[in-house]
Structure 1
Amino acid sequence: MSNPLQEQLRKAGLVNDRQLKKAQKDLRKERQRSAENKGADAEKATIRQAQAEKAARDRELNLQRKEAEERKARVAQIRQLIEANRQSGDGEVAYNFADGGIVKRIYVDEAMRRRIVHGQIAIVKLDGRYELVPAEVAERIAVRDPSCIVLKNPPPGAGEENKDDPYATYPVPDDLIW
């Protein structure tokens, strides 16, 4: 017997050898159960963590799928807007415009060229093709995807009436007499 308390209890006659062995055996079983529970708790924690990670991955994948579906729907809406409102651009006059730093050319007639210059017609790009659409449709397309708009000139006179006037921002007094 290595425990001095147990030795004292046995000498005092309060316990016998059989009771001491039973107590030690119960103590060993309890320690073994607690060790098993710790292992089971660690395993349960690992399982819970794995489930949480899987749920986070699933949420992220669902979010990516949803974004892809929304992107696909926007492209379909843009395609529908372009196909429904496309202007014929067949002509002999070459109209040059820049797309991403590269000068591109589209052939239109003179009336269509004037409408492009005056901001009534815009050039949009979808699937590598350039199309001509009215400016109002180009604005609706720009709401869905601004990168589709290649060229949309501002209408003449928009914001230019006070462009050269250095006093345009100063208030004019009401009692000014000329």
Structure 2
Amino acid sequence: MSLSLRDQLLQAGLISKKQAEKAQAATGKDKPRGQHNHGKQITAQAPNAEALKAAEAARKAKAAKDRELMDKAKEKQALKAKYAEIKQLVEANKLPPVVSEDLYNFVDHKNNIRRIAVTPELRAQIIDGRIGIARCEGRYSLVPGAVADKIRERDPRAVATINREADKVDENDPYKDFKVPDDLIW
């Protein structure tokens, strides 16, 4: 017959008899089942109304939290789907990259000045609004204006620039008569 762990530790001399008795008393294995509190029998009590109310409140709170987590997961999934659509639109419709020393400067969604290589014809099309600059996965690509509008519907921050509206001039602007050209190269 195999010895219990307590007996094996005693034989090995790793614990004393006093420590073994103390551990056994702490676990309560020497007491018969159902006997606690100096031999008084503990009886199972019927759940009272307060306990039922607390359990019901806990169940409702858990259900509300589960719904909230499910809503967040659905929002995250919808956001992923939206960005997948944007990526697909950009990849399918982007214009081939241009190798040129002529750069077009624009402001991105974080108000940082960015630049993209363009030809004079592309610059004129960007200024007219026939071509837009779309951001996808940290890169900027030139896309047709109609595609830029579709991308802007999904996420306005994904389109860096598209000139659709005429420049609105404030009536009180003292420099309204002095127009800065769009093709100004610094």
Residues 71-92 of structure 1 deviation map (CA, whole Å, 9 limit, x = unaligned):
0000000000000100123131
Match for residue 76 of structure 1 among 59, 63, 84: 84
Structure 2, unmatched stretches of 5+, are: 1-44, 172-186
Structure 1, unmatched stretches of 5+, are: 1-35, 165-178
Match for residue 61 of structure 1 among 45, 60, 69: 69
Shift of 1:149: 1.0
Greater share of helix: 1
Residues 30-61 of structure 1 deviation map (CA, whole Å, 9 limit, x = unaligned):
xxxxxx77x61111001000000000000000
Alignment of 1:98-113 (within 5 A): 98-99=107-108, 100-113=110-123
Q: Secondary structure at the match of 1:153?
A: coil
Alignment of 1:81-120 (within 5 A): 81-92=89-100, 93-99=102-108, 100-120=110-130
Q: Secondary structure at the match of 1:122?
A: strand
Q: Which amino acid aligns with 1:50?
A: A
TM-score (norm 2): 0.61
Q: Secondary structure at the match of 1:131?
A: strand
Q: Which amino acid aligns with 2:82?
A: R
Q: In terms of mean alpha carbon deviation, does 145-154 or 99-108 score higher?
A: 99-108
Shift of 1:147: 1.0
Residues 84-127 of structure 1 deviation map (CA, whole Å, 9 limit, x = unaligned):
10012313111111123221111112221111111100001121
Alignment of 1:1-178 (within 5 A): 40-92=48-100, 93-99=102-108, 100-154=110-164, 158=166
Identity between Structure 1 and Structure 2 (%) = 36
Aligned residues: 124
TM-score (norm 1): 0.64
Question: Larger radius of gyration, structure 1 or 2?
Answer: 1
Q: Which amino acid aligns with 1:115?
A: Q
1:122–1:135 contact (8 Å) kept in structure 2: yes
Between the aligned partners of 2:117 and 2:89, the Cα distance in structure 1 is 22
